[in-house]
Every structure is written in C-alpha cells, then in structure tokens.
Amino acid sequence: MAQKDVGNKVPIYKLKETKEVMDFYDEWGLDNKYDKDMVEWNYTGPKETAEVFNKHQKEKDINIYDAGCGTGLVGVELKKYGFTNFFGADLSQKLLDLVPNNLYKKLDKVDLNKPIKEKDDQYDALMCVGTFTFGHVKPPALDEFIRITKNKGLICFTINEGIYEEYGFDKKIKQLKNENKWKEIEFFKSDYIASKDVNAWLGLYEVTK
C-alpha cells in the first residue's frame, strides 16, 4: 500500500531527530499556535481516546500519567468525564507552559525515548496521544509505560498509521501480548486528523504483568 504524503500536510512529520522535534514544538507553541492549529485541523485524537478510555475505566479517582501531554488537550477531555488526577510529561517546555492552570497535579519535561524517572507501578492508568508519530517516541517506550502502570491498569494510545509498521509498533504490540505483559481491549483505526487525511491506530490495553 502506498504511503500517504502526510509530510506536506503536517510539517512535524518530516522531522527525524529529537532535537529537531523539540525545536519545532517550542516554536509551534508561540502565541498558542499549536492549539489553534489543532482546532483548525479538527484533531480528534484526544476526544476519541478519552471517550474510549472512559468507556472501560469506571473509577474516576485514579492517577493518570499523560505521556506526551503537550498543552493538556487529553486532560481537558478526560476532565469532562470526571477524571481529575493527571500527571503530565512532554519534551517541549513551551507546550507545557501552555497547559491550563490547575489541570495537572504535576508537569515534567521528559524525553520519553529514555527511561522514565518514575517508580514501578506508580500510576493507575496511562494515556499517550499524538506522541507515537514520525520522528517522535519509539516502540521501546511501551515497556516503560507498562513498568510505571499498575497491574490491571489501562494504557490508551494512538499510533500514526504511517509509522505503525515502519517503526515496528506492530511487532512490539504483538511481543507484549505474547509475553503476557498486556491484553488487548480495543484496537481500531481512528480519524485522528481527518481534515488532513491522517489516520492513527487507537489502542486500549490492560496491563497483565
């Protein structure tokens, strides 16, 4: 199947190195252009993942790690369902500075391609939306996500369709299932950024370590 030329539609997808990505986001965050673009592009990732997560997570008073939280779009959506205990991490300090006040309990500048400085089984659930994409976070991060999430906890994420096989996410997800690290609850193709004809796989898995 031919790859969509998404680089011309979403410039960030042309970048390959972590520093390039960080610099791009820092500039994108100026004058809140990032959030404005997300609205203009009809970016549905946060809304879709929050809806799926809420369907399976009935307890609201849980600690949720938002990996690659950006400006807090996932937190905003989850709050609508009654969740309140969010802990955010992102590579760009400029985007973290744009997170609404008092939405997250804690915000940390973190490179998710490196070991996360959190204790084992620290969180009840984990969200990762819009972060598994071109030049961003790679499949080994899923090992860290499972490590810091409690047994029976949910991990909800999106993976840009353009890198799902190219970066090896398909193999990593299967490996974690075969090793009984998690089990699939939902996995389907979402609209993601429909206005740009960019789709993503949306997954919800229960940790079974």
What is the structure's pLDDT at 110? 96
39, 40, 41, 79, 203 from 170: Cα distances, Å: 30, 30, 27, 31, 11
The answer to whether 89 and 111 are in contact (CB under 8 A) is: no
For the segment 16-32, what is each residue's pLDDT rounded down to a tens digit?
A: 555 555 565 555 554 56
For the segment 91-148, what is each residue's pLDDT rounded down to a tens digit?
A: 989 889 999 999 999 999 999 999 999 999 999 999 999 889 876 799 999 999 999 9
For each of the domains in the chain, give its residue range(s) and CATH number, in order of start.
17-53+63-99+107-112+119-134+181-209 (3.40.50)
Residue that is written with structure tokens 């993503």 in the block:
200
Task: Enumerate the β-bridge partners of residue 66.
Answer: 88, 127
DSSP state of 43: B
For the segment 36-84, what is each residue's pLDDT rounded down to a tens digit?
A: 554 544 467 899 999 999 999 999 999 999 999 999 999 999 999 999 9
What is the structure's pLDDT at 31? 52
82, 118, 186 from 203: Cα distances, Å: 21, 23, 6
What is the structure's pLDDT at 100? 94
What is the structure's pLDDT at 136? 78
End-to-end CA distance of the chain: 35
| Neighbour order of strands in the sheet with 182-193 | 106-109, 85-90, 63-67, 123-132, 149-160, 198-207, 182-193
Token pair of 127 as six digits: 């969200």
Query: 177 falls in which pLDDT band (50, 70, 90)?
Result: very high
Q: 7 or 149: whose pLDDT is higher?
A: 149
For the segment 141-162, what is each residue's pLDDT rounded down to a tens digit?
A: 999 999 999 999 999 999 988 8
